[in-house]
Amino acid sequence: MSTLPFDTRLLLAPMAGVNDPVFRALCRRMGAGLTYTEMISSLALAYGNRKTQDMLRALPEDRPYAVQLFGSEPAVMAAQARALEAELGAGLALIDINMGCPARKVVSSGNGAALLKRSELACEIVAAVHAAVRVPVTVKMRLVSHADADTLAFASGLAESGAAALTIHGRTAEQYYRGAAHRSSVDTLVAGLSIPVIASGDVFSREDAREYRERGASAVMVARGARGNPWIFSGEEPDLAERVAVAREHVERLHAWEPRKLVWMRKHLAWYFKGSPVALRVRKAVQTAVSLEDYLALLESCAVGGE
Ligand SMILES: Cc1cc2nc3c(=O)[nH]c(=O)nc-3n(C[C@H](O)[C@H](O)[C@H](O)COP(=O)(O)O)c2cc1C
């Protein structure tokens, strides 16, 4: 069933505000089969926005990787997909199209999960991007409604339009993250589609991933379960010293990559030490950390341990 053109071990899901290039590279080193960028606006790329272009980049050891685009204009999506294929060459594994983001500012402009209500336009986007590039084009979506038949009908249209695979996050857009992901939607899509299905939703352990595989998913994504926990990809249980070492590498390499991005370490560090004896201290200290030295001093104090 799996005809996915990449290593289908656990995948790092696209996550806006989380997936910086260093985090993605760490996940890859720990065993992620593929990593995704944050969702990237096709319109912002078309305008030549520098910050948006930066989001496309990845570290050399994290290639080939998946780029996720969002947008609702087929011609713009196609043109940007073609341009980034030309730019990234063999570094690009696939282009994924976001049809699941429920955030108000994304949906209100007709993007992300808004497309779940516009099947015809969604199919046009897939067909246009598919015609523009050689790499596989995939779609990441949510449930169209609580009736699996609706989700299958929508997904079938995407497959007919050229989608090479579909990722399903088993919640409706209206649910945001409330309730448990509806896992049996994977069964319905696997049974009803001839393209591979990738599962997403509530994967916090390798056991969760195994359950999705047993339902026929060709691959499984980890999202929230990877924050502060790239070890989910290796199956290791890190001790405090290992957490400190990886967090330090993340800080140093992120600073070297782009000093202005260092502020992202506030949330990453809180996640790395969540549930550990130093969690509270880290959460407090990151609020005032600014420079590389601040972050390194904070990690130094973590290495000593204690509250
Ligand atoms: C902070 C955050 C940012 C996310 N950003 C994206 C995104 O840019 N594109 C996307 O398709 N999904 C995004 N998602 C959804 C995840 O990829 C995933 O489908 C969802 O979190 C369900 O998986 P989980 O329950 O294992 O976290 C995001 C989720 C979180 C928590």
Helices 292-304 and 279-286, packing angle to 10 deg: 170
Residue 158 is which amino acid?
Answer: L
CB 147 within 8 A of CB 136: no
Residue nearest to atom 6 of ligand 1 (CA): 15
Q: Express each pLDDT in 174-233 by its tens digit.
A: 999 999 999 999 999 999 999 999 999 999 999 999 999 999 999 999 999 999 999 999
- pLDDT band for position 8 (cuts 50, 70, 90): confident
CB 273 within 8 A of CB 282: yes
pLDDT at residue 1 greater than cutoff 50: no
Spacing, Cα 16 to ligand 1 middle (Å): 7
Q: Is 35 in the pocket of ligand 1 (CB under 6 A)?
A: no
Q: Express each pLDDT in 134-164 by its tens digit.
A: 999 999 999 999 999 999 999 999 999 999 9
Mean pLDDT of 269-293: 95
For 79, the 3-state DSSP assignment is helix
Residues 6+ apart with CB under 8 A from 62: 21, 24, 25, 28, 35
Number of helical (H) and strand (E) elements in the chain, helices listed first = 13, 8
**Which atom of ligand 1 lies closest to the CA of 38?**
8
CA dist 255 and 248 (Å) reads 11
Residue with the two structure tokens 């989910």: 232
Q: Express each pLDDT in 30-71 by its tens digit.
A: 999 999 999 999 999 999 999 999 999 999 999 999 999 999
Spacing, Cα 165 to ligand 1 middle (Å): 18
Q: Is 16 in the pocket of ligand 1 (CB under 6 A)?
A: yes
Residue 126 is which amino acid?
Answer: V
Q: Is 96 in the pocket of ligand 1 (CB under 6 A)?
A: no
Least Cα distance to 135 among 159, 97, 100, 164 occurs for 164
pLDDT at residue 3 greater than cutoff 70: no
Other residues' Cβ atoms within 10 Å of the Cβ of residue 8? 17
Residue of 36, 224, 227, 268 with the most ligand 1 atoms within 8 Å of its CB, for mutation = 224
Q: Is 50 exposed, middle or buried (0-12, 13-18, 19+ CB in 10 A)?
A: exposed
Residue of 169, 186, 233, 264 with the most ligand 1 atoms within 8 Å of its CB, for mutation = 169
Residue with the two structure tokens 């944050």: 38
> Given this model, what pLDDT does residue 40 score?
98
**Which atom of ligand 1 lies closest to the CA of 100?**
11
> Given this model, what pLDDT does residue 2 score?
45
CB 283 within 8 A of CB 271: no
Average pLDDT, the chain: 95
CA dist 162 and 198 (Å) reads 16
Least Cα distance to 158 among 199, 190, 193, 204 occurs for 193
101 is catalytic: yes
Query: What is the token pair recorded at 125?
Result: 């986007």
Q: How far are the Cα atoms of 103, 201, 262, 265 from residue 125, in angstroms, in the given order? A: 20, 25, 35, 35
**Largest separation between any pair of C-alpha atoms in the chain:** 58
Residues 6+ apart with CB under 8 A from 215: 183, 184, 186, 187, 190, 199
Render the burial of 273-302: b for 16+ CB within 10 Å, e for the rest.
beebebbebbeebbeebeebebbeebbeeb
**Which atom of ligand 1 lies closest to the CA of 98?**
11
pLDDT at residue 4 greater than cutoff 80: no
**Which atom of ligand 1 lies closest to the CA of 171?**
22
Query: What is the token pair recorded at 274?
Result: 């969540």
